[in-house]
Amino acid sequence: MTYQQETDIPEGVTIEQNDKEIVIKGPKGELKRIFDHPHVKIIINNDKVTTQTQRPIKKTRAIVGTWKAHIKNMIIGITEGYEAKLKVVYSHFPMNITTEENRVVIKNYLGGKGLRYAEILGDTKVSIKKEIITLTGTNKEDIGQSAANIEQICKPKGKDRRVFQDGIYIEKKP
């Protein structure tokens, strides 16, 4: 008895399988990911990707669904791309935000002299326009983690969040 789920491959997208690594190529680039589990397989046909297991117990069925979701997210990222938006909020001390290499630098947070750094993962591109930070790219997980890194670096510690609302907050998730 097998349990399987299928995902359609849109036109202009190619999927290759090298042992346990799946490579998806499309108009916006390529994404690679390793899928490794002893009881779950990925089968690529002409226009469908099938994720299946021979052991339809609850845990392996969950892995089949998770892998299907990962492949679908990779296909969407390669064809359409993902975007996350963050809003910079301050009441008295204006924050100065810049990018350098693969990180975002935040100056003058709550009037402090120290710099704060948030790491940008993968091929995520950052654009800053006044109080809006926009992250774009093809990998949903990299964009989401980069947005979380920026939000976490500007949390007021030891202060009442109802009073000190300064920070950078995620407005739109990828």
Which segments of the chain are extended strands (E)?
3-8, 14-18, 21-26, 29-34, 40-44, 48-53, 82-89, 96-100, 103-107, 116-119, 125-129, 132-137, 167-172
- Res. 7: pLDDT tops 90: yes
Residues with Cβ < 8 Å from 153, sequence gap 6 or more?
106, 116, 117, 118, 168
pLDDT band at residue 82, thresholds of 50, 70 and 90? very high
Q: What is the pLDDT of residue 156?
A: 82
pLDDT band at residue 155, thresholds of 50, 70 and 90? confident
- Res. 13: pLDDT tops 90: yes
Task: Tally the C-alpha atoms within 13 A of residue 18's C-alpha that lie toward its C-beta.
Answer: 6
What does the block give as tokens for 2? 């097998």
166 close to 156: Cβ distance less than 8 angstroms: yes
101 close to 71: Cβ distance less than 8 angstroms: no
- Res. 17: pLDDT tops 90: yes
119 close to 126: Cβ distance less than 8 angstroms: no
Render pLDDT for 86-105 as a digit per residue (tens, 0 to 9).
Answer: 999 998 889 999 999 899 99
Q: What is the pLDDT of residue 92?
A: 85
User: How far is Cα 56 from Cα 39, in angstroms, rounded to an integer?
Assistant: 10
Task: Calculate the dihedral angle through the C-alpha atoms of 4, 81, 32, 37, rounding to the nearest 10 degrees.
Answer: -30
Domains and CATH numbers, the chain: 3-79 (3.90.930.12), 82-172 (3.90.930.12)
pLDDT band at residue 111, thresholds of 50, 70 and 90? confident
What pTM, to 2 d.p., does this model score? Answer: 0.89
| Angle value at C-alpha 64, between 63 and 65, nearest 5 degrees | 90
Residues with Cβ < 8 Å from 91, sequence gap 6 or more?
165, 166
User: How far is Cα 145 from Cα 52, in angstroms, rounded to an integer?
Assistant: 29
